[in-house]
Amino acid sequence: MNIREVRAHCDIPCAVYDPSIAQYAALSVVRFLDLIGEMPDNIESKKDLSHLSRLVQQKEEHAIEVKDAIRTIWGDYFKQPHMEKYPEIHDLAHSIMMTASKCKQDIDRQNGVDLVEKVNRFAEIFWATKDVSTESKKSLNPPHMDIIVPVLGD
């Protein structure tokens, strides 16, 4: 058997990468933090305890989803020319990881807000590397925060 050398740019076609998964997961983290904050401080019923447990579990899973999506795009998509043009991408990706961890460790809403803002900046850089203009739009779902989206053509 004769195997020839094979080269590839990415693990998967670049068109598949999209930061919207991380953005909506980050928005979900804020939503879960809001729902947790709406619960009474003194949880006495098993029903309320079960509800709180589910909210915390979902908050944690969505924070992990943010980390997974950002790590994949940062590790698989961003190449040297992108990093030279946007040198903040390394620190930003690391900061997103740390902020997502804070969201898992705590119930401070500001951590979730910070996560959304950082993921939005990541999305802005991502789309800029593809020469796609972006704009800020209000999310249709709670918590109704601004998200960076590509300007779509016809």
Q: What is the pLDDT of residue 16?
A: 82
- Residue at 4 is within a domain: no
- Residue at 137 is within a domain: yes
Give the residue from 85, 77, 69 showing the smallest Cα distance to 25.
69
3 state SS of 146: strand
- Residue at 1 is within a domain: no
Tens digits of residue pLDDT in 12-58: 555 589 999 999 999 999 999 999 999 999 999 999 999 999 999 99
Total number of domains in the chain:
1
- Residue at 72 is within a domain: yes
Tens digits of residue pLDDT in 106-154: 999 999 999 999 999 999 999 999 999 999 999 999 999 999 999 988 6
Contact status, residue 104 vs residue 92, Cβ threshold 8 Å: no
pTM for the structure as a whole? 0.90
Range(s) of the domain holding residue 92 = 18-38+46-150
Tens digits of residue pLDDT in 76-94: 999 999 999 999 999 999 9
